[in-house]
Structure 1
């Protein structure tokens, strides 16, 4: 029966109204443990479902559970999270996360309701990133996103959901139970193979680079183990000599470029900061060079 018939059951029990579409709208006033009251509502397929929804809303309110937002989208959630974190992120981190969101998150997840995304949906999303897919211009295909990029997206989604839960907008964090599968555990995207000199090749390269003015910086990188950004950020003030007269450089910053912008920031990890010389850098190479 349609026509908007409304059944009143008292403000504490809620009301149920049959809509012209045949669905049922329920409304109920609830009170939380802190004394605040709120009017909740929703629609269901049957009157029985509406009655169960009223009971569930009352029980959750008594337990202090606020209703989740059914309008918050993944796009709104992630962009708000990035805005809030911008002051604590470095420029490079902020730009990188914004680029990952624009290129890889927004086209597939931004329109979805955040409360409706479950771990299964996120697993399917990471599997999609592991394949070639349209870039959005109708012609080009975007190559598979590597494991490192997928892992950064997972961290971004995990943080955005945590913030939304902390704000009382959501209750579940699907990113806790769905993450990209690492190559070592059977992930479809393999990590890029690192190319490096063998000891014999390095032994031939360094003398040749030292004899070439343009290749001399490469010899410096090989002898010290500095990253390119760390070497580019060095100034004459970072160069000194120890008590024995041996030269050393102090690594306290790095210089990077991202999308045409250049900036100077802290080294990649705290272990990378410090002083080094040709004789001691090799001892810290594993800690700093492979971090």
Structure 2
């Protein structure tokens, strides 16, 4: 066995009996006082020498990482289990897990995490974008990869983040469907004949998110002060019990507080909506009396006839039925929130107020989301200057 050992602190390179070359650098001592080493095997001596020299430089710079056979897919599993799931909301974990399982692992899961290159991740983003995947999902792929590799740096598994300088595909702004005033009236007229009509009056009259509406209780509604307090939302998540019990439902609904302080808010409501809610409360009480012991009173505003929480999927189907009956173009539940915000901006309500009513984290989100309203608002603003600048300069008299 040929060998080329160097002085202490300089590492060594030696050849094994099978002909392969081993590069070795010292890592100090372990907890028991025994020497620790980092080793890597190469077919050629020059490659082993190069790695040893590079490792020694990185050690001095404090960026050296111990060679590892952990793949990117294995690291993603560790990261999701150890660093994500215990510390984030269930829906956030589902999002990370979905991106890892369907996008990162299939293409890059077998690549050793220390060998992962920025070019490989960029190619993945480009392919996903070209396949028609939404720009938001492509962005989530980058976010997931970057977050997982950032933690890998803290673990000493890698020395750099291969996802740090990726170029995101240009976002394509989605066209927001906003109902006209006439369409609003048509929908609500038809909804008045439906038991769940109250849901659509509230969505168009408050701009609440659907999850916030479905979690709304009468304790959150102050009919005397004409205000609704938003402090929670119903979220559909994977049912953890399904992993151990195949008979359990795959999903379940949980109620959780808003993600940010901006989500906690009070929304004033119109006198018309107050009167509507008073009538609905009386109807709901009568329904409870008729149903008797089968009624489960959870204090919810929007319920089934037995007091159960209404699912978002069922409410979405109901909306489509009512739109068809009202002869209004197809749209989705979230469009009712957009419609509420647009009506406010068209009424010259300050965007800051609209931001607070919607629970947006910043006014920038509001302005970017509803930029389609701004051109008309600009014209209205300029129109108010009419007459303020109406003077006559001396040179105008020379024109006759």
The TM-score, its normalising length taken from structure 1, stands at 0.78
Shift of 1:169: 1.5
Alignment deviations for residues 7-50 of structure 1 (CA, whole Å, 9 cap, x no partner): 33455444333356654222233559xx9963222234533333
Shift of 1:160: 1.0
Question: After TM superposition, where is structure 1 displaced by more than 6 Å over at least 4 residues in a row?
Answer: none
Greater Cα offset, 83-92 or 38-47: 38-47
Unaligned runs of at least 5 residues, structure 2: 239-250, 272-339, 366-400
Q: Secondary structure at the match of 2:114?
A: helix
Greater Cα offset, 191-200 or 70-79: 191-200
The partner residue of 1:214 within 190, 196, 212 is: 196
Contact 2:5 2:11 in 1 (8 A): yes
Structure with the higher helix share, 1 or 2: 2
Aligned 1:19-168 pairs, distance under 5 A? 19=16, 23-29=20-26, 31=28, 38-83=36-81, 84-132=83-131, 144-168=132-156
Contact 1:16 1:25 in 2 (8 A): yes
How many pairs are equivalent?
A: 266
Shift of 1:52: 3.2
The partner residue of 1:230 within 201, 212, 221 is: 212
- Residue 240 in 1 paired to residue 210 in 2? no
Contact 1:74 1:114 in 2 (8 A): yes
| Counterpart-to-counterpart distance in 2, 1:167 and 1:36 | 22
Distance 1:8 1:108, change over 3 A: same
Contact 1:18 1:25 in 2 (8 A): yes
Greater Cα offset, 261-270 or 45-54: 45-54
Question: RMSD over aligned Cα, in angstroms?
Answer: 3.0
| Counterpart-to-counterpart distance in 2, 1:273 and 1:36 | 56
Distance 1:69 1:232, change over 3 A: farther
Contact 2:75 2:113 in 1 (8 A): yes
Unaligned runs of at least 5 residues, structure 1: 133-143, 184-189
| Counterpart-to-counterpart distance in 2, 1:36 and 1:19 | 23
- Residue 18 in 1 paired to residue 30 in 2? no
Contact 1:122 1:179 in 2 (8 A): no
- Residue 8 in 1 paired to residue 16 in 2? no
| Counterpart-to-counterpart distance in 1, 2:159 and 2:185 | 58
Distance 1:250 1:128, change over 3 A: same
The residue number in structure 2 matching 1:258 is 237
Shift of 1:221: 0.6
Contact 1:73 1:112 in 2 (8 A): yes
Contact 2:39 2:67 in 1 (8 A): no
